[in-house]
């Protein structure tokens, strides 16, 4: 028998690629951090002898989920300023709280809490945009989680940097320090067209092309944002970005609730990606992204949670359900955004947006063993007629039992293996006292 590291025997394996595939009584064989084989369990038991065997009765095994857009350190701000429109929320609450409190220590504790929450919920990779990305990267790496770390840029000084040159210098240093790490990639993350000048956006675009990394930016989040751009420049933000040659296969546009048919066609023509955050958009009343129109046009759409200050969680199962339901209403079609489409948005589509789809996003031989096991045997999920649909419409993140990243188990029987849950809770309580003034 062939020796391997791990054999995961499951009631169902849902590999995502091929699309809409559910494999009954199948196993995933793992060796040296990679998927060696996906095959019927009876054959796997006859072929492989594993150091670690996991018999997961009534479980669905899926690729590790990918949170395509978040601000991890903002876990410290959960619930700090709810029920407010975007600009009021940002300018009167979030920006002042950040000016008063953001520091390496703030980011360390916030990111640890976020990474713990995401891993426990079956997320194995996240695409982040926030200050002190060096801290975010270090925390994620130590926890054994994948991250695309954002090289942040705004035009104004913050506790992280004193101006555009400083942001860019620190971003380039981050990229150089981590460019050979298998769990880490980087992206430039100019916050938005209204916080970064066109001159600095052009600088970022030139550097992104040279380094072959994505540009990850908030665009067309609200109608007010679009109108403000029209009033001041005569153009919508996306047109300004397009005029600066930023729309391309490395362009990751977050939110995009305000889109014309011509803009959708342009996104498709340029190979740009849209990062959809339905729950944050709903909570801030920002609008609804026309996801089915984007999909029909051929635009790659990935799914993210945004930060917990505007969501208020990092629950990708909840996000998938919201995306599916909202997508149907917006399209006026119950057949829009099917379960398999939404699962793809949280896995292979997100990997594709991040340029990591050759490595993660599906359960295929040769890819990294980023794997999430979900218990569908619980009362709330029974009976199971269609396990893929069950994952989207009736599954909660509390049903995640086991998680692996690059073959390393990071969650076992719902317990975090690489982070100290009690310590994280203690630090969260300490920050609550400090931030109460902004709540």
Paired tokens of 382: 């029974």
Task: Look up the domain containing 224 and give its range.
Answer: 70-353
Burial of 288 from C-beta contacts in 10 A (0-12 / 13-18 / 19+): middle
Q: How far apart are CA 392 and CA 321, in angstroms?
A: 5
Report the sign of the C-alpha dihedral through residues 347, 70, 184, 137, in that order: negative
**379 & 325 share domain:** no
SS3 222: coil
**100 & 40 share domain:** no
List the chain pLDDT tens, one digit each, 439 residues: 999 999 999 999 999 999 999 999 999 999 999 999 999 999 999 999 999 999 999 999 999 999 999 999 999 999 988 998 888 988 898 888 898 999 999 999 999 999 999 999 999 999 999 999 999 999 999 999 999 999 999 999 999 999 999 999 999 999 999 999 999 999 999 999 999 999 999 999 999 999 999 999 999 999 999 999 999 999 999 999 999 999 999 999 999 999 999 999 999 999 999 999 999 999 999 999 999 999 999 999 999 999 999 999 999 999 999 999 999 999 999 999 999 999 999 999 999 999 999 999 999 999 999 999 999 999 999 999 999 999 999 999 999 999 999 999 999 999 999 999 999 999 999 999 888 765 5
This prediction has a pTM of: 0.98
**213 & 147 share domain:** yes
**225 & 311 share domain:** yes
Phi, psi of 355 (to 5 degrees): 70, 25
CB 271 within 8 A of CB 249: yes
Domain of 190, CATH number, reads 3.20.20.140
Q: How far apart are CA 238 and CA 256, in angstroms?
A: 9
Number of domains within the chain: 2
**282 & 298 share domain:** yes
Q: How far apart are CA 70 and CA 86, in angstroms?
A: 16
């Amino acid at each position: 028998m062939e020796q391997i590291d791990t054999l995961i025997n499951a009631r169902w394996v849902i590999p995502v690629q091929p699309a809409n595939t559910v494999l009954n009584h199948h196993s995933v064989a793992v060796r040296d951090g990679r998927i060696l084989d996906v095959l019927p369990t009876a054959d796997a038991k006859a072929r492989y002898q594993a150091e670690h065997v996991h018999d997961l009765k009534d479980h669905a095994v899926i690729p590790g989920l990918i949170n395509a857009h978040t601000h991890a350190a903002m876990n410290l701000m959960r619930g700090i300023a709810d029920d407010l429109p975007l600009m009021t929320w940002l300018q009167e609450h979030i920006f002042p709280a950040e000016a008063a409190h953001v520091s390496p220590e703030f980011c360390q504790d916030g990111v640890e809490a976020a990474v713990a929450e995401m891993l426990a919920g079956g997320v194995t990779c996240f695409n982040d945009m926030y200050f002190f990305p060096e801290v975010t990267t270090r925390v994620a790496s130590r926890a054994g989680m994948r991250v695309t770390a954002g090289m942040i840029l705004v035009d104004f000084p913050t506790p992280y940097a004193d101006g555009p040159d400083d942001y860019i210098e620190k971003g380039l240093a981050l990229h150089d320090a981590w460019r050979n790490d298998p769990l880490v990639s980087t992206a430039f993350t100019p916050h938005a067209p209204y916080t970064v000048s066109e001159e600095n956006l052009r600088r970022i675009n030139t550097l992104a092309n040279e380094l072959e990394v994505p540009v990850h930016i908030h665009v067309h989040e609200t109608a007010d944002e679009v109108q403000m751009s029209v009033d001041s420049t005569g153009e919508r933000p996306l047109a300004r970005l397009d005029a600066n040659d930023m729309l391309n296969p490395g362009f990751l546009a977050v939110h995009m609730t305000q889109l014309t048919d011509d803009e959708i066609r342009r996104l498709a023509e340029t190979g740009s990606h849209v990062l959809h955050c339905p729950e944050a958009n709903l909570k801030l009343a920002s609008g609804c992204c026309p996801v089915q129109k984007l999909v029909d046009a051929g635009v790659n759409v990935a799914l993210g949670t945004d930060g917990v200050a505007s969501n208020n969680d990092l629950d990708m199962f909840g996000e998938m359900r919201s995306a599916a339901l909202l997508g149907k209403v917006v399209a006026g079609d119950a057949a829009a955004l099917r379960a398999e489409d939404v699962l793809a948005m949280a896995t292979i589509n997100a990997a594709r947006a991040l340029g990591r789809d050759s490595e993660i996003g599906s359960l295929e031989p040769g890819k990294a063993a980023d794997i999430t096991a979900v218990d569908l045997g619980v009362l709330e999920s029974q009976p199971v007629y269609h396990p893929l649909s069950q994952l989207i419409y009736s599954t909660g993140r509390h049903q995640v039992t086991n998680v692996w990243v690059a073959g390393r188990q990071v969650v076992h029987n719902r317990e975090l293996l690489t982070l100290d849950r009690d310590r994280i809770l203690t630090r969260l309580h300490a920050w609550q006292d400090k931030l109460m003034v902004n709540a």
